[in-house]
Homo-oligomer: A and B are copies of this chain.
């Protein structure tokens, strides 16, 4: 592991690390914010999953999250959104291949050689950072858009692994929208039965833990009606009796200005669970 950036920020340190991922079989970067409280001993961590086209940089440079993480004593771990490198398969377009890992374990060629972002964010990365940094095993997870999908799936599939989960503008039903159908067809193949393990609206039916879902969604989001469809999650949670706090925000779009506006509320939500 190599530290490639380090900046004092809000009393703590914003770092970027590079490491060899055995899960993804490539070099990966992740952002790491260590709050001032981490100087006195291990603290809980929030794992943040970014959206299409993003890297480990977007959330840590644009969301203004550090002041809230410093206030509550929470580490922020922000991985990249896909495997990287010259020998990693890619595709034309922003919604498949690099920058578009969709947090699944690909089973189809050529993607299966490297695209195992589900195992990376759920297993390898937490084990790595908990071993090397002052980070406890009290975990929260959140994300935006494709990363909101990833956060919901990671939490719903792993009861007990996360104390709390939230999402901004998530793709709640990837099996039913163009972004998800394109990515899942490529990464998982045409058997839609295999898609259910990565679809929050399917997973709420079977999860054994009723971990409340906190979701913020802008009403002026340009992808609301075509790709995000929050009503599908409302309906699935109602049918399953799964707790959902969906906050529709008039006027807000899909950008980081939306995330920056409400990330403080999400950090407070996670802090309550992580510090309980």
Which A residues are within 8 Å of any B CB, using their own CB? 7-11, 14, 61-62, 64, 66-67, 218, 220, 249, 251-253, 255-258, 260-261, 264
Q: Which of B8, B10, B66, B264 contacts A253 (CB 8 A)?
A: B8
* Copies of this chain per assembly: 2
Max count, chain B CB within 10 A of own CB: residue among A7, A10, A258, A260:
A7
Interface residues of A, dominant DSSP: mixed
Contact indicator B218/A257 (Cβ below 8 Å): no
Name the B residues within 8 Å of A253 (CB-CB): 7-8
List 4 additional A-B contacts (Cβ < 8 Å) besides A9-B257, A9-B258, A66-B261. A8-B253, A9-B261, A64-B260, A67-B260
- Complex Cα spacing A8 to B8, Å: 29
For A70, the closest partner residue in chain B by CB is B261
Contact indicator B7/A61 (Cβ below 8 Å): no
Contact indicator B8/A260 (Cβ below 8 Å): no
Name the B residues within 8 Å of A251 (CB-CB): 8
Max count, chain B CB within 10 A of own CB: residue among A67, A218, A252:
A67
